[in-house]
A and B are shown apart, each in its own frame.
Chain A
Amino acid sequence: MVAESAPAISTQVGWRLAKATGLMVLVGVLLLVLVLSLRIGSLGLTTRDALDAIFNYNPESYEQTVVRSLRLPRTLIGLGVGAALAVSGAVMQAATRNPLAGPSILGVSSGAAFAVVTAIYFLGIATPEGYVWFAFGGAAAASILVYAVASAGRGGATPVKLALAGVIVSALLGSWSTALVLMDQETLDQVRFWNAGSLAGRPLGIFWTVLPFMGIGLIGAILLSRQLNVMSMGEDTARALGLHTGRVRLISGVLVVMMTGAAVAAAGPIGFVGLAVPHIVRLFTGPDYRWTIAYCLVAGPILLLGADIVGRVVVRPAELQVGIITALCGAPILIVIARRRRVADL
């Protein structure tokens, strides 16, 4: 028996080691992507320029100014938004025990868009700094509405109900946005770019504005991961183990709204990062949310900045908005999930 259990325990340790190593590798990849994001663009730069601009800034250098004023904000926002979206997706999937939960399903984007369109049309606000608070508020309100509607009826927030409520709230808010842009071409012109979801053209100030929300959300999610583990065993079991399921669900809801609201406020609606990243990292981490969330924290920015870099390259000299790329890559993942799972589970 001893002979049998000894390798069993060492397998456990081995697993933990493998996961930690994997995480280290991912951090390495992230650093690489960060540097690439500073370098690649319509103006190609060397790693030296990029690093000097941060650590050894010379205001005379045109290259370094580009990095400081354009690439650095963009990269930092990508870092924060990617982490926030991926982690909030993981938290939602755990708290709702729902493999399809994700910010884009919750109507976050259309809520933010709704608020932004309204702000542009009625208040004439025209800068990204100006949108931030409206986007944040709209995102929060819409996601609360969707979740409330989906969980209100009998049976709670089942995956299908949640997805449908999200689609419908999006459609309703979307038609309001459509009505406004139809009346005013100028609004349309501004909104269509915001709507595509992009990291470009945001000043560094936006990053500082949303950072507190993202930070609290991310730290909260990490602290909550053990509770989420218990939560994922089902409502009854979790409660029998002494978990306040209602409280955990509420806290995770608040964290998710903070993170996704901040993300959409900073970068506009970016689909499918929150849905796809947790699924991808779970292939490596298994069902333990302590690892899943840590991996999401690193993998989210890798995916988002990677998509952003691709968007800068593919249609040179123009750029493809990062939101379009993530939707095009993410939707197939949703389809794969739908095809792979037994349908009864969905």
Chain B
Amino acid sequence: MTRLETRDLTLAYDGPPVVDGLTLDLPDGQVTSIIGPNGCGKSTLLRALARLNRPTSGAAVLDGEAVHRQPTKEVARRLGLLPQGAQAPDAITVEDLVRRGRFPHQSFFTPPTDADQIAVNRALELAGVEHLRNRAVDELSGGQRQRAWIAMSLAQETSLLLLDEPTTYLDIAHQEEVLELIRYLNEHEGKTIAMVLHDVNEAARYSDHVIAMRNGAVVALGTPAEVINPDTVQAVFGVSTEVITDPHTGAPVCLPCGDESTAACRMADDCPIALAAHDLTLAYDKRIVSAGLDVNLPEGVITAIIGPNACGKSTLLRALSRLLSPRAGQVLLGEDCVRDLGRRGFAQRVGLLPQAPAPPMDVTVEELVASGRAPYQRWWRQWSDEDETTVEAALKATGMVEFRDRTIDALSGGQRQRAWLAMALARRTPVMLLDEPTTYLDIAHQVDVLDLVRALNTREHTTVVMVLHDLSQACRYADNLVVMKDGEIVATGHPSEVVTADLVRSVFGVEASVVTEPVTGRPLVFPRNAVNGRYRNAIIEVAPDEEAAPVAEPVLSGAN
């Protein structure tokens, strides 16, 4: 019997159960990851473990007693939870935030004691945010902010720690930063940790125990090596993968097999230029994001723009799509300067799919796709023959015909993204710009969307430019990479030429090994911080950016 377990746990919001009759143990002293597709009930399970959701039947059991029968403060002294996307009050400092983690140890009339302050200091030190204690949380970088929140949970001084998607919205370097901390807390502080993770490979690298869920039930559980295999991943995510072993860590790495038939390597150098930027200076209000950018985007090729958070990649895409007018320099579409093209003329040649667009919820798929025809329409010409045939073709091409009368809010994340792609397709623009088309999607939907993008590129010879978050995806799907850091372009070229260990280190600040994938000949990036799942003081090995350097000090002194 372990300290935290579930017995026949059933959870439901108003409707069918989200988690159905689940019985499992979370092994003490280990890092457990819960993985599964969007909506499989993994976050709900975590919330029930922390007493946030009341079970419909069965129970989450902490120390032999049903968690929802124990007083809430009692639970909070033994079990900490960091909810997903927690938002700090405006302008709160790191230390004040952490101090609030002491709440369960204080009672109504006792003021904070010295013991509280000691616990707060220790939490700050452990999470490596001590030097940031007087900074406001909302000024910090994503990784620092997440560590401040973890420090808040540490101040609770619980031996059990639950984390809901601690790495979402972070770039690869910050993800590693947070996961290293979690690993460290497990090994050196003896914390039992359970976390919901989005990324299968992160779970494989950083946990001792993996629970794979689908539709509210456990499909597989065990060590990463036992769980992460093609059959399980197929059963959980519904996507076929190859699983290889990371040469450095020995952790399994799962590579989705996309539609490989079209993956023929096309050399970008030979193509004419579809879209180009010359000496571009981009700024919001007074803040200059990029200065003197030069970039050429070849025609008929998929280009991916990659880089760490806030490196200016989305800003560049906004400038290319004319949403942001450059402070200086110009964007050229073929021979024409974008500024001289009319609004509609430009809209007929360049399409854009913004990040996480939010259409009105009562829009049907067909209506959404039809709106892609707007650049060709006038209020008196709302539905020409051509509009009709194009929309039908776009619906068919994206497999959305059967959903045409559904409203957007009745679609899953992946279907919704396809509907947007259908809209972009209905525009019939030779150039298509996509801003992070795979964010918020689980692995199966990501593959689905990227395969569709590639099919469009191959069949229609559409020039695709997309901002991507995930280095491996960019390597697999792009023929041309534009790598950015701090508003500058660091490298451009085919992934196999551009992506090297040196580049990953200098751009993302992560030590990684780069190997060539056998089937496609494309590079694969393995972050190398965790060796055999064991913690190494990797933060220090990495050539860190200025902010990360002092952070690692206290962690180190504790570790040695």
Contacts and interface: CB of A to CB of B under 8 A. Distances in A.
A4 B95 CA distance: 14
Contact of A4 (B50, B80, B83, B130): B130
Contact of B83 (A1, A232, A236): A236
A244 B91 CA distance: 25
Nearest to A287: B89
Contact of A236 (B74, B81, B554): B81
Interface of A: 1, 4-5, 8, 11-12, 223, 226, 229-230, 232-234, 236-237, 239-244, 282, 286-288
Given A236-B81, A241-B156, 15 more contacts: A1-B557, A8-B133, A12-B95, A226-B103, A233-B100, A240-B50, A240-B81, A240-B82, A241-B101, A241-B104, A242-B71, A242-B75, A282-B90, A286-B96, A287-B90
Given A12-B95, A237-B83, A242 B553 contact: no
A226 B103 CA distance: 9
Contacts of B133: 8
Contact of A226 (B72, B101, B106, B554): B106
Nearest to B90: A287
A287 B83 contact: no
B87 to A, nearest CB: 6
Given A239-B72, A240-B50, A240-B81, A233 B134 contact: no
A6 B254 CA distance: 48
B131 A4 contact: yes
Contacts of A223: 108
Contacts of B100: 229-230, 233, 241
Interface residues of B, number: 42
A229 to B, nearest CB: 6
Contact of B130 (A5, A233, A237): A5
Given A226-B106, A242-B77, A5 B87 contact: no
Contacts of B91: 286-287
Given A1-B553, A232-B89, A233-B86, A242 B134 contact: no
Interface of B: 47, 50-52, 71-77, 80-83, 86-93, 95-97, 100-101, 103-104, 106, 108, 121, 130-131, 133-134, 152, 156, 553-554, 557
29 contacts: A1-B554, A1-B557, A4-B130, A8-B95, A12-B134, A232-B89, A233-B87, A233-B89, A234-B83, A236-B47, A236-B81, A237-B86, A239-B50, A240-B50, A240-B51, A240-B52, A240-B76, A240-B81, A241-B76, A242-B71, A242-B74, A244-B72, A282-B90, A286-B93, A286-B96, A287-B89, A287-B91, A287-B96, A288-B96
Nearest to A154: B14
A278 B71 CA distance: 33
Contacts of A229: 100
Say whether chain A's binding surface is mostly helix, strand, loop, or mixed. helix
B86 A242 contact: no
Nearest to A11: B134
B436 to A, nearest CB: 17
A11 B90 CA distance: 20
Nearest to A232: B89
Contacts of B90: 282, 287
B28 to A, nearest CB: 20
Contacts of B96: 286-288
A157 to B, nearest CB: 16
A236 B76 CA distance: 12
Given A5-B121, A5-B130, A242 B103 contact: yes
B103 A243 contact: yes
Contacts of A11: 134
A226 B100 CA distance: 9
Contacts of A240: 50-52, 76, 80-83
Contacts of A230: 100, 103
Contacts of A239: 50-52, 72
Nearest to A1: B554
Contacts of A232: 89
Contacts of A286: 91-93, 96
A5 B122 CA distance: 12
Contact of A241 (B87, B92, B103, B121): B103
Contacts of A233: 86-89, 97, 100
A287 B90 CA distance: 7
B194 to A, nearest CB: 13
A234 B134 CA distance: 21
Contacts of A282: 90
Nearest to B104: A242
A186 B64 CA distance: 71
Contacts of A244: 72
B247 to A, nearest CB: 37
A105 to B, nearest CB: 19
A237 B162 CA distance: 12
Q: Which of B83, B131, B553, B554 has the most CB of A within 10 A?
A: B83
A27 to B, nearest CB: 22
Contacts of A243: 72, 103
A232 B74 CA distance: 21
Contacts of B50: 239-240
Nearest to A245: B72
Contacts of A287: 89-92, 96
A234 B50 CA distance: 15
B219 to A, nearest CB: 27
Contacts of B93: 286
Contacts of B108: 223
A282 B91 CA distance: 10
A286 B136 CA distance: 10
A219 to B, nearest CB: 13
Nearest to B108: A223
Contacts of A241: 76, 100-101, 103-104, 156
B6 to A, nearest CB: 18
